[in-house]
Amino acid sequence: MTEENVIKLDTKGLKCPLPVIRVKKAITGIEIGQIIEVESTDPGSMADFKAWARATGHELLAAEEQGSVFFYRIKKAK
């Protein structure tokens, strides 16, 4: 996967459920196998994205916290 195929989404400052809603909207516009990288400052986003990925079948490749920012890599599965 080349870096230009990665979609970057900044949801910093948004509270639940907006980060997930933004990703849900963005993922409909990309191809299967493409990746969305998300940055969030919502502490609840860690549980939200894990649950959303399980429910939708998309692959959560990475979920990590760096200070007050949470980073996610989500691969579109279908």
Tell me the pLDDT tens digit for each residue of 22-35: 999 999 999 999 99
Contact indicator for 61, 35 with CB cutoff of 8 Å: yes
Of the candidates 9, 16, 60, 63, the residue annotated as catalytic is: 16
Asked if CATH classification 3.30.110.40 holds for the domain at 3-75, the reply, yes or no, is: yes
Contact indicator for 78, 53 with CB cutoff of 8 Å: no
Q: How far is CA 68 from CA 7, 23, 26, 45, in A?
A: 22, 20, 23, 12
Tokens of 64: 């990590």
Tell me the pLDDT tens digit for each residue of 26-66: 999 999 999 999 999 999 999 999 999 999 999 999 999 99
Q: What pTM value is reported for the model?
A: 0.91
Q: Domain map of the chain by residue range?
A: 3-75
DSSP character at residue 30: S
16 is catalytic: yes
